[in-house]
Structure 1
Amino acid sequence: MATRDSTSRGTGLALATESMTLLHWAGVVLAVVTGVLHLVLGVSFGLSGFGISFVVAGLGFLVGAAAVLVDYRRRLVYLLGIPFTLGQIVIWYFVNAPDFSPLGIFDKVVQVAFVVVLVVLYRRG
């Protein structure tokens, strides 16, 4: 586990990116892209159940990315991220079939790539 200087911010959490590889960074970028997209869509749907579900999903992706950046139980984060993301893909398919938007397809391509990254990171231990 990476060494952290918890006094640097006074919060007990500090970036611990020195152990991150290019693959880690790719995963963070993919998580942030799909997370922000979900937040934007959630806000656009308003305070409906649908909108709230998008906001929760977006926050899930962003919290996962943050956990990796501070080196908080990364292996567990990878393991939880795989079914979380696969669930997003399956739900999207059943909610939207057969009318898939270009934005939705883009997000699912991002998410499939994200799952591949998570599987590789998890297997590397």
Structure 2
Amino acid sequence: MADPAADLEFESLTPTHWAAIGLAAVTAAVHLLLGLSFLPHWMGGAFLVATAGFLLGIWLVLADRRRRLVYLVGIPFTGAQIVLWYVVNEPTGIADVTVAGAVDKVAQTLLIVALVVLLARGEREP
């Protein structure tokens, strides 16, 4: 049986990579929990699709597959999550933001920053 970890490449990962991976994992976990709680409503499915997108991005970076493209796609993908949250929730003040929403939006904002840094550094394009 093949070892899935054998396909992963950790040596080239910088602290910025690890920060981005951690932030993507946080937002994936939030989306997974929200997705499961919203099922069978269509929003549950939308949250699960977002979860899959963040997990795919993590795997692609860990597997050293087209990292620069992952950064390029990850920035608008994550930014769209923030915009969609705002459009759906229409918060008018801090009282309208849940703990999960705050954790998720902070993680996503920092993830965008990390992706921009990785992209600007030109790190790991095979």
TM-score (norm 2): 0.88
Which range is displaced more, 38-47 or 92-101?
92-101
Relative contact order: is structure 1 or structure 2 higher (C-alpha 8 Å, sep ≥ 6)?
2
Matched, 1:83 2:84: no
2:102 aligns with 105
The one-letter amino acid of 2:82's match is I
1:57 equivalent among 50, 53, 76: 50
**2:30–2:100 CA contact under 8 A, matched in 1:** no
Cα distance in 2 between the residues matched to 1:10 and 1:54:
30
Distance 1:45 1:15, change over 3 A: same
Shift of 1:100: 2.1
1:118 equivalent among 110, 115, 119: 115
The one-letter amino acid of 1:82's match is I
The one-character-per-residue Cα deviations of 1:56-109 (angstroms, maximum 9, x if unpaired) are: 001100110110000000000000000000000001011112232122012100
Gaps (5+ residues) in structure 1?
1-7
Q: The residue matched to 1:17 in structure 2 has which SS? A: coil
2:27 aligns with 34
Cα distance in 2 between the residues matched to 1:9 and 1:75:
27
Deviating 4+ runs (over 6 angstroms): none
The one-letter amino acid of 1:112's match is T
Alignment map for 1:19-30 (pairs within 5 Å): 19-30=12-23
Cα distance in 2 between the residues matched to 1:75 and 1:112:
19
Alignment map for 1:61-76 (pairs within 5 Å): 61-76=54-69
**2:32–2:51 CA contact under 8 A, matched in 1:** yes
The one-letter amino acid of 2:41's match is S
TM-score (norm 1): 0.88
- Alpha-carbon RMSD across the aligned residues, in angstroms, is 1.7
Cα distance in 2 between the residues matched to 1:55 and 1:62:
10
What percent identity do the matched residue pairs reach? 52
